[in-house]
Amino acid sequence: GAGVSQSPSNKVTEKGKDVELRCDPISGHTALYWYRQSLGQGLEFLIYFQGNSAPDKSGLPSDRFSAERTGGSVSTLTIQRTQQEDSAVYLCASSLEGGYQPQHFGDGTRLSIL
Amino acid sequence: GDSVTQMEGPVTLSEEAFLTINCTYTATGYPSLFWYVQYPGEGLQLLLKATKADDKGSNKGFEATYRKETTSFHLEKGSVQVSDSAVYFCALRGSNYKLTFGKGTLLTVNP
């Protein structure tokens, strides 16, 4: 079946611009996660959505970052007023509900801030 | 908080050599443990998992055993292939559902 789909696969933008990254989870998966992979910091958790519960935003690095999940499916991660340190690969994952369920990752969006 | 420590790379082996990548963790409660693999130019793929103490996860010839007494989840393979060249990440999932990753270990297998 279809895996987690992310778009765009690559995004290059100028410092100060806003960007939107999209994630389409695996059908039926109620949990959705965003992570960031950068050379200096490794893989970092950003935000977690589970069903209709309030999201866990504890990993968002600043108030320039926000995310929403519409209809319990597609999610958008928005970065406002981008900075060069935002350059990274942004990964989305989804899973079935339950702490033992593995998370399945998309191929990521490589974001480059000029 | 939760943390994962895995051996620093890079690791370079010859084909058919034995592989061990060490991973230890710190967590409260009873986390689930995972190994993910990232092949060149690709996304993260789940390699194997274990959800409770003494569980052994296995896949594609790789194995790891959840050792609660030593808080470890070492990855092993008896005979590596060139196609196993990739970055390997150890991860845990605690009570708050997010994955905490190690820094990754780059494995290169030479023919």
| Predicted confidence (pLDDT) per residue in B59-91, tens digit | 999 999 999 999 999 999 999 999 999 999 999
Binary contact (B46, A59; C-beta < 8 A): no
d(CA A72, CA A50) in angstroms, rounded, equals 8
- What is residue B42's predicted lDDT score, i.e. its pLDDT? 86
Give me the residues of chain B with pLDDT under 70, please: none
Binary contact (A45, B103; C-beta < 8 A): no
Is the pLDDT assigned to residue A1 strictly greater than 60? Answer: no
Joined together, the tokens standing for residue B47 give: 């390699």
What is the widest separation between alpha-carbon atoms in chain A?
A: 40
pLDDT tens per residue, range A36-70: 999 877 899 999 999 888 899 999 999 999 999 98
Mutation for B interface: A4, A43, A100, most B CBs within 10 A: A43
The residues near A54 (Cβ < 8 Å, ≥ 6 apart) are none
pLDDT > 70 in chain A, percent: 98
Q: Closest to B44 (Cβ–Cβ): which among A42, A50, A91? A: A91
- What is residue A22's predicted lDDT score, i.e. its pLDDT? 97
d(CA A50, CA A52) in angstroms, rounded, equals 6
- Convert B75-95 to b/e letters by CB count within 10 Å (16 or more is b): bebeebeeebbbbbbbbbbbe
